[in-house]
Amino acid sequence: MIYLAVLGRVVLGTLGALGRVTIFAFSAIVHIFRPPLYVGQFLTSLVQIGWLSLPVVGLTALFTGGALVMQIYAGGARFNAQAVVPQIVAIGMVRELGPVLVGLMVAARVTAAIAAEIATMKVTEQLDALITLSTDPMRYLTVPRVLAALLVVPLLVAVGDVIGIMGGYIVATGSLGFNPTAYLRNTVDFLEPLDIASSLIKGAAFGMIAAIMGCYFGMNADRGARGVGRATKSAVEAAAVLILAANFVLTALIFAL
Amino acid sequence: MITLTDIHKTFDGKPILRGVNLTLPQGQSTVVIGASGSGKSVLMRSILGLVTPDSGTITHQDAPLNPQAFLNDFGMLFQGAALFDSLPIWQNVAFRLLRQMPKPRARAIALQKLARVGLDADVADRLPATLSGGMQKRAGLARAIATDPSVIFFDEPTTGLDPIMARTINTLIRDIVSETNATTLTITHDMTTVHSIADQVALLDKGKIRWHGTPAQMATATDDKLQAFLFSGS
Ligand SMILES: Nc1ncnc2c1ncn2[C@@H]1O[C@H](COP(=O)(O)OP(=O)(O)O)[C@@H](O)[C@H]1O
Ligand SMILES: [Mg+2]
């Protein structure tokens, strides 16, 4: 019986938390469409989330693209199907690995940074100070970050897709004997607009998830320095899991229906 | 005038405020004293709408206090100054002004307020993290008075400062309070703050206002809790 009670409490607690996150996310999205926008905060967020994430996104995509080519080449060789390597790499990168890897990197970098920054503001009463200065933290802190992530993470995904394909291209032409021109032509001819659209849509969704989780857990941090650490950890966990779950749902919606 | 009537607040089943009645007279300086953890900050935050009381009423000029309207003519010095890390000092001070006027004018007023609290113009473009605790408190004070609000709150203005800096802050607050004729609420457990700024003192104990009166009355009061507080040196 005790186990049931504990289980019940855990389930109820989880549902309650999910409900609060959902309400927060909803409110953040609604606020995006209501002016005014704090332009300075928004521009800073664009730089923080977009520009400064480029190195980690680029390196992640480059190495993954290179490894992907070797795997698919080796697997394809079992069926004498090495010729389709460019096409499979392109699809794997653009539809799946590009958005997921960029999403997870953004969760690690951006969600953590947002959660730690806002949690610190909460712990040091800066959020209260904002409110007493007649400024809504939702509008001043959350909206600029979520909007910036929504706009800039698809671009990061596009960059990741291209660099991932280039990573594959380097390995394929450098050590697997593929013809450079043919490889690129196969890649470009094969990809369809829907593949690219799905990549960008996933990027937008993952960016929003990453920013919203950072803001939510930051704003709800417990008091004290431990509160900042715990908020950051929870935010990154929640963002990573939700990004993977959203990836599953979006893949099903876009390609299976 | 701000009036709190029968304010109750419980956190996680623990009653913190248990029927607080308190009036902040217009243009006067009210100081609430009480042990650490007695609920002074919760009391202050209730007035600002940062904490929602479980029951009780708060009125401002005889109408129910609407936090949004109230905050438009309000300034506050937070315990840790609570300056915004990402903004230079002058933008912290001018935070509200920047929404009301062109940048150069907002900056000019910010510099003037910084001078008023004894900070040179060369701190204006520095980030808060590069200032000492005492300088941050001064900058926080400048932010609190930037718009010449008619209500100002001070949360433990001298806590964490060395005695000399504490005296400086006390003097600044005393002068500003008397210059501006603002209605102020200060929470503290520093008796020098009480003696330098209070028109009225209230002791918060076990969730209620246990004693209140003027500083002069305090000297002759016989309430044992008040005596204990005065002599505990906290
Ligand atoms: N948001 C909150 N959630 C839970 N407990 C709180 C909260 N705010 C204050 N408390 C509790 O209320 C009590 C009084 O706190 P506070 O008003 O900060 O004391 P002080 O008189 O030192 O300012 C403390 O025990 C504190 O833990
Ligand atoms: Mg306090």
What's the pLDDT tens digit per position in B64-97? 999 999 999 999 999 999 999 999 999 999 999 9
> Chain A 105-134, CB below 8 Å of chain B: which residues?
120-121, 124-126, 128-134
Does position B178 have pLDDT exceeding 90, yes or no? Answer: no
The rounded Å distance from CA B4 to ligand 2 centre is 18
Question: Strand B183-188 to strand B151-155: parallel, antiparallel, or no bridges (unpaired)?
Answer: parallel
For ligand 1, residues with CB inside 6 Å are B 11-12, 16, 34, 36-42
DSSP lists the bridge partners of residue A123 as none
**Beta-carbon separation of B71 and A121 below 8 A:** no
CATH number at residue B39: 3.40.50.300
Q: Confirm whether B208 is domain-assigned.
A: yes
**Beta-carbon separation of B82 and A125 below 8 A:** yes
What single letter denotes the amino acid at residue B176?
I
Does position B200 have pLDDT exceeding 70, yes or no? Answer: yes
The rounded Å distance from CA B36 to ligand 1 centre is 9
In angstroms, the CA A127 to CA A190 distance is: 50
Q: CB neighbours (10 Å) of residue A251?
A: 16
Q: Confirm whether B19 is domain-assigned.
A: yes
Domain housing B29: 1-73+182-227
The rounded Å distance from CA A45 to ligand 2 centre is 33
In angstroms, the CA B205 to CA A250 distance is: 57
Angstrom CA distances, B202 to B37, B181, B211, stand at: 16, 20, 6
Which residue reads 């890390």 in tokens? Answer: B85
Residue stretches of chain A with pLDDT short of 70: 1, 257
Q: CB neighbours (10 Å) of residue A216?
A: 25
Q: Confirm whether B139 is domain-assigned.
A: no
What single letter denotes the amino acid at residue A80?
N
A-chain CB neighbours of B82 within 8 Å are: 124-126, 128-129
Q: CB neighbours (10 Å) of residue A5?
A: 9
**Beta-carbon separation of A121 and B79 below 8 A:** no
- Quote the ipTM score: 0.93
Query: What is the sign, positive or negative, of the torsion defined by CA atoms of B114, B119, B121, B122?
Result: negative
In angstroms, the CA B137 to CA B129 distance is: 12
- Which is the closest atom of ligand 1 to the Cα of B155? 23
Residues B42-54, mean pLDDT to the nearest whole number: 96
The pLDDT of residue B91 is 97
Query: What is the sign, positive or negative, of the torsion defined by CA atoms of B70, B73, B77, B80?
Result: positive
Which residue's CA is minimally distant from atom 19 of ligand 1?
B37
Q: Confirm whether B158 is domain-assigned.
A: no
- C-alpha torsion B43→B45→B48→B49, nearest 10: -100
Q: CB neighbours (10 Å) of residue A204?
A: 18
The pLDDT of residue B120 is 94
Domain housing A181: 2-255
More confident residue, A255 or B114: B114
Contact between residue B114 and residue B150 where contact means Cβ atoms under 8 Å apart: no
Query: What is the sign, positive or negative, of the torsion defined by CA atoms of A153, A19, A231, A28?
Result: positive
Contact between residue B170 and residue B157 where contact means Cβ atoms under 8 Å apart: yes
Largest CA distance in chain B: 55
Domain count, chain B: 1
Q: Which residues of A76-98 are buried (b: 16+ CB within 10 A; e: fewer)?
A: eeeeeebeebbebbbbbbbbebb
> Chain A 25-54, CB below 8 Å of chain B: which residues?
44
Q: Confirm whether B120 is domain-assigned.
A: no
Does position B208 have pLDDT exceeding 80, yes or no? Answer: yes
Distance from CA of B22 to the nearest CA of A (A): 21
Which residue's CA is minimally distant from atom 5 of ligand 1?
B11
The pLDDT of residue A223 is 84
Angstrom CA distances, B185 to B23, B40, B197, stand at: 10, 11, 10
> Percentage of chain B surpassing pLDDT 70?
99
The pLDDT of residue A5 is 85
Residues B204-213, mean pLDDT to the nearest whole number: 94
Residues B33-37, mean pLDDT to the nearest whole number: 91
Which residue reads 């060395």 in tokens? Answer: B162
A-chain CB neighbours of B78 within 8 Å are: 125, 128-129
Does position B234 have pLDDT exceeding 60, yes or no? Answer: no
* Tokens representing residue B194 in the block: 């009480």
B-chain CB neighbours of A128 within 8 Å are: 45, 48, 50, 78, 82
DSSP lists the bridge partners of residue B14 as B11
3 state DSSP class of B206: coil
Which residue's CA is minimally distant from atom 14 of ligand 1?
B39
Chain B residues interacting with chain A (CB cutoff of 8 angstroms)? 45, 48-50, 68, 71-72, 74-76, 78-80, 82-86, 95-96
The pLDDT of residue A187 is 94
Residue among A55, A52, A86 at smallest CA distance from A69 = A86
Sorting pLDDT into bands at 50, 70 and 90, what band is B233?
A: low
In angstroms, the CA B43 to CA B55 distance is: 13
> Chain A 142-161, CB below 8 Å of chain B: which residues?
none
Domain count, chain A: 1
Does position B176 have pLDDT exceeding 60, yes or no? Answer: yes
**B49-B54-B57 Cα angle (round to 5):** 65
Q: Which residues of A39-64 are buried (b: 16+ CB within 10 A; e: fewer)?
A: eebeeebbebbbeebeeebbebbbeb
The pLDDT of residue A257 is 65
3 state DSSP class of B170: helix
User: What strand order describes the sheet that includes B29-33?
Assistant: B74-77, B151-155, B183-188, B29-33, B200-205, B208-213
